[in-house]
Amino acid sequence: MSAVLDPPASSSAPSSAEGTGAPVKPLPIDAAKLCELADELPTPFHIYDEAGIRANARRLNAAFAWNPGFREYFAVKATPTPGILELFRDENCGMDCSSAAELMLCDRIGVTGERIMFTSNNTPAVEFRRAKELGAILNLDDLTHLPYVAEEAGGLPETLCFRFNPGPLRGGNAIIGKPEDAKYGFTREQLFDGYRQAQAGGVKRFGLHAMVASNELDPQFFVDTARMLFALAVEVHEATGVRIEFVNLGGGIGIPYRPGQEAVSYEQVSEGTKAAYDEIVLPAGLDPLAVYMENGRCMTGPYGVLVTKAVHRKEIYKRYVGVDACMANLMRPGMYGAYHHVSVLGRGGEKVNAPSAGPVDVVGSLCENNDKFAIDRELPAVERGDVLAIHDAGAHGHSMGFQYNGKLRSAEYLLKEDGSVEQIRRAETYDDLFATLNV
Ligand SMILES: *Cc1c(COP(=O)(O)O)cnc(C)c1O
């Protein structure tokens, strides 16, 4: 990693600057560098840190090196920008797609075949066809999709995976909901039926998938998922004779959005998974069984920043800082009430550790009162023109953008390992916005 990418020494630990009440969280990209870029480039914009993304992907792959078939399929929907997808392609990852457009993006960057896992739901036949044309692994969401693919999408492929919904046995959380209330997957009984039917229909190779949480910070959760899927793979083998070749633990590894939270240790997830493997898979004779994951958030989230400038300050019944970004650039806070840390950088990074001037709401310009990045947040005094960094915007950030109120989606940049900055997606223009109109 190059020095410029290290968090500034003064904010290297998530702590409260002394006596200020304003917690500090390190940025993936140096504050002065972000301010310099905000002077050169129109704000708002998203910027990602190549070195951080690559190092993280390598760490995940290294943690699971004990499993020769291990593969992380990056969840394309988190950051569907070729400039980012190419990094994962080059780090030996696959791509997890759930729509035709995501499949097309993979095709464009030369990712095809079993490097693609197609984990869709309520899928139209045309999308199954497209996935099959690319040779992707189809991960079916329902038992009825077997005859559907057979009849409407030109026949069953050689390899199939099924998504398991464990129902009320397990947790779940606010984003994905409780498994029994979630629309995804097969019930346990349906799974056994599914493998039998698929085998009878000529399918030769099989996988098993579950994704039961989102933004989960407890490593044990993923170990428990692995344990559940290993045990189920053994049961399927005993009951149907079908030998499952891979289990996909899904995505959902959380990230420390709040100062003081701890990142999930991949090593801990891996060690627990290996213990379960040795205990369950080996004695059942199912080795080698490949372990897959399809994380999005933890792969890019912490390495992306939304850079914005303060436009207005307003004091009525509460105090507000208005910025030039809005929910169209990052809708998680408005949609889920999700916490995203905000750092006030000032003009050149000088405010990073400044004391709090009291609580403010940081707001965008949509005609929607939930267009707020932060509510009652302790922040240093903000002047018009100050640069603000919204942290952890690298996943489910730009990609969730929308055009309500005629807002244009902003550009995305990559801070490369050599220190240069590359535009990987231009900002939208009014011509883009009006391109679908008949007048
Ligand atoms: C969204 C999604 C993912 C990625 O989730 P993260 O929380 O970003 O890791 C993986 N698999 C499926 C099926 C998904 O829907």
7-42 pLDDT tens trace: 333 333 444 544 566 788 999 999 999 999 999 999
The residue whose C-alpha atom lies closest to atom 7 belonging to ligand 1 is 252
Task: Give me the CATH number covering residue 329.
Answer: 2.40.37.10
Is 70 exceeded by the pLDDT of residue 170?
Answer: no
Residues having CB within 6 Å of any atom of ligand 1? 75, 77-78, 96, 98, 119, 211, 214-215, 250-253, 294-297, 395
Find, among 298, 248, 281, the residue nearest to 52 by Cα: 298
259 phi and psi, to 5 degrees? -55, 140
In the set 35, 97, 106, 367, the catalytic residue is 367
Report CA(301)–ligand 1 centroid distance (Å).
12
- Which of 243, 244, 248 is closest to 117 using CA atoms? 248
Annotation marks residue 367 as catalytic = yes
- Measured in Å, residue 75 CA sits from the centre of ligand 1 at 6
Number of domains present in the structure of the chain: 2
| 245 residue type, one letter | E
Interval 169-191 mean pLDDT: 75
Residue 101 φ then ψ, to 5° = -60, -40
Question: Is the backbone of residue 231 left (phi > 0), alpha (psi -120 to 50) or beta?
Answer: alpha
Check: CB of residue 430 under 8 Å from CB of residue 408: yes
CB 166 within 8 A of CB 203: no
User: Which of these three, 243, 275, 300, is where a domain ends?
Assistant: 300
Q: Are residues 319 and 208 in the same domain?
A: no
What SS3 class is residue 210?
coil
Q: Please indicate, yes or no, if residue 10 is contained in any of the structural domains.
A: no
Q: How far is the CA of 354 from the centre of ligand 1 (A)?
A: 37
**Burial tier of 302 (Cβ tally within 10 Å: 0-12, 13-18, 19+):** buried
Confidence of residue 177 (pLDDT cuts 50, 70, 90): low
CA nearest to 274, candidates 235, 237, 219: 219
Is residue 120 in some structural domain?
A: yes
Domain interval for residue 238: 50-300
Task: Please indicate, yes or no, if residue 99 is contained in any of the structural domains.
Answer: yes
Contact 383, 61 (CB under 8 A): no
Q: Is residue 265 included in any domain, yes or no?
A: yes
Are 174 and 320 within one domain?
Answer: no
CA distance 365 to 370: 10
Q: Which of 170, 164, 150 is nearest to 230 (CA)?
A: 164
399 domain residue, yes or no: yes
Same structural domain for residues 43 and 54? no
Per-residue CA distances from 426 to 34, 121, 259, 388, 413 (Å): 18, 30, 31, 21, 9
Task: Report yes or no on 14 lying in a domain.
Answer: no
pLDDT beyond 90 at 172: no
158 shares its domain with 285: yes
Smallest CA separation from ligand 1 atom 13, residue: 119
Question: 323 with 367, same domain?
Answer: yes
The CATH number assigned to the domain holding 273 equals 3.20.20.10
Using CA atoms, how far apart are residues 373 and 397, in angstroms rounded to an integer? Answer: 12
Tell me whether the omega of the peptide bond preceding residue 68 falls within 30 degrees of 0, making it cis: no
- Round the average pLDDT of the chain to a whole number and report it: 93
Q: Which atom of ligand 1 is nearest to the CA of 297?
A: 8
Domain co-membership, 81 together with 117? yes
Shared domain for 274 and 315, answered yes or no, is no
Q: Pairing between strand 411-415 and 45-49?
A: parallel
Give the Å distance between the CA of 296 and the centre of ligand 1. Answer: 6
Residue 97 lies in a domain: yes
**Residue 124, token pair as written in the block:** 């139209």
Helix axes 145-152, 125-133, angle to 10 degrees: 70
CB 377, CB 359: distance < 8 Å: yes
Residue at token pair 């011509």: 431
Asked if the structure places residue 24 within a domain, the reply is no
DSSP conformational letter for 278: I
Regarding whether 423 and 332 lie in a shared domain, the answer is yes
Q: Are residues 230 and 313 in the same domain?
A: no
Mutate to test the pocket of ligand 1, among 120, 186, 294 (most ligand atoms within 8 A of CB): 294
**Predicted pLDDT of residue 11:** 38
Average pLDDT value for residue range 379-392: 98
Residue where one domain finishes, among candidates 300, 319, 338: 300
Sign of CA dihedral 424, 430, 432, 433: positive
Question: Do 211 and 114 belong together in one domain?
Answer: yes
Ligand 1 atom nearest residue 119's Cα: 13
Beta bridge partners of 321: 313, 362
Q: Which of 266, 300, 334 is the last residue of a domain?
A: 300
**What is the Cα gyration radius of the chain?**
23
Same domain, 108 and 206: yes
Same domain (yes/no): 248, 327 = no
Query: From the CA of 250, how far away is ligand 1's center (Å)?
Result: 7
Check pLDDT > 90 for residue 179: no
- Determine which of 80-89, 145-154, 157-166, 171-180 has the lowest per-residue pLDDT on average: 171-180
Chain centroid to CA 259: how far? 19
